[in-house]
């Protein structure tokens, strides 16, 4: 099953990945990182198809994709 991992400390909650994901896998989480950003979490992980689009648009290289 494809999956994404978020480097929570690098995420700045810009939401580019949230908007880009075709399957609505990602959402801003309830927890915040040490800089105060509500980092993204895979809220709907089973829907991930490993297309990498989220990682491609992430400015901060915070997303790792596995397939």
Partner 1 sequence: MEKIYTRPSYIREGATSGFCPGCMHSTVHKLVGEVLDELGIVNKTVTVWGVGCCILGAGYTTHDSFGSPHGRACAVASAYKRTNPDEIVYTYQGDGDLASIGIAETIYAANRGENFTVIFINNSTYGMTGGQMAPTTLVGQKATTAPFGRDPKQHGYPVHVCELLATLKAPYYLERVTCLDAPNVLKAKKAIKKAFQNQIDGKGFSLVEIMSNCPTNWGMAPLETLEFMKENTLKEFPLGVYRDKDAE
Binding footprint of ligand SF4 on the chain (CB under 6 A) = 4, 6, 11-17, 20-21, 23, 25-26, 40, 48-54, 57-58, 60, 62-63, 65
Strand partners for 6: 63
| CA angle (47, 53, 55) in 5-degree steps | 100
- Smallest CA-to-CA distance from 18 within 62, 67, 34 is with 62
12-51 positions binding partner 1, by CB under 8 A: 12-16, 19-20, 35, 37, 50
Question: Binding partner of residue 43 among ligand SF4, partner 1, none, CB under 5 to 8 Å per kind?
Answer: none
Q: Identify which range of 1-9, 24-32, 40-48 contacts partner 1 by CB under 8 A.
A: 1-9
Half-sphere exposure in the Cβ direction for 66 (13 Å, CA): 7
């Amino acid at each position: 099953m494809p999956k994404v991992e978020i480097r929570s400390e690098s995420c700045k909650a810009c939401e580019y990945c949230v908007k880009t994901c075709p399957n609505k896998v990602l959402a801003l989480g309830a927890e915040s990182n040490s800089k105060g950003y509500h980092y993204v979490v895979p809220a709907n992980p089973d829907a991930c198809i490993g297309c990498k689009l989220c990682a491609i648009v992430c400015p901060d290289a915070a997303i790792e994709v596995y397939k």
